[in-house]
Amino acid sequence: MIARIWTAHTTPENAPKYREHFETQVLPALRSVPGYAGAELFNSVASDEVEIVVTTRWQSLAAIRAFAGADPESAVVAEEVQPFFTQWDRRVRHYEVLVEENQPTRD
């Protein structure tokens, strides 16, 4: 399993817009790529800035290439969301997942 990690910065006003885009556009597109294994969207809010972190999981580098193209470290950022960001990574980082655990939430 490979984790693909990308970060960006935005304003508090634009963070919800990117979340909506992620949920309605990015996730459905990812689900159609063979070898896609899941995703998370995180954010960290400071007073005037929001850091966004996207982690996707993939079965193989070949699956990542099917999504990202011939240069798997190239970030895939749709033109329509680029104005949401004050800055974003042009390159992503890949990590081999060595241990993963998911616990059900407890009320």
What's the pLDDT tens digit per position in 2-16? Answer: 999 999 999 999 999
| Rounded CA separation 78/101 (Å) | 31
As for how many domains the chain has, the answer is 1
Examine the pLDDT at 83 and tell me if it is beyond 80: yes
Residue 104 lies in a domain: no
Residue 16 lies in a domain: yes
Examine the pLDDT at 107 and tell me if it is beyond 80: no
Supply the pTM of this predicted model. Answer: 0.89
Q: Which tens digit of pLDDT belongs to each residue from 37-63?
A: 999 999 999 889 999 999 999 999 999
Residue 107 lies in a domain: no
Per-residue pLDDT, 35? 96
| Rounded CA separation 87/107 (Å) | 38
Per-residue pLDDT, 101? 87
Per-residue pLDDT, 94? 97
Structural domain span for residue 72: 2-96
Per-residue pLDDT, 10? 97
CATH number of domain containing 92: 3.30.70.100
Residue 87 lies in a domain: yes
Examine the pLDDT at 79 and tell me if it is beyond 80: yes
Residue 106 lies in a domain: no
Check residues 100 and 18 and name the one with the higher pLDDT. Answer: 18
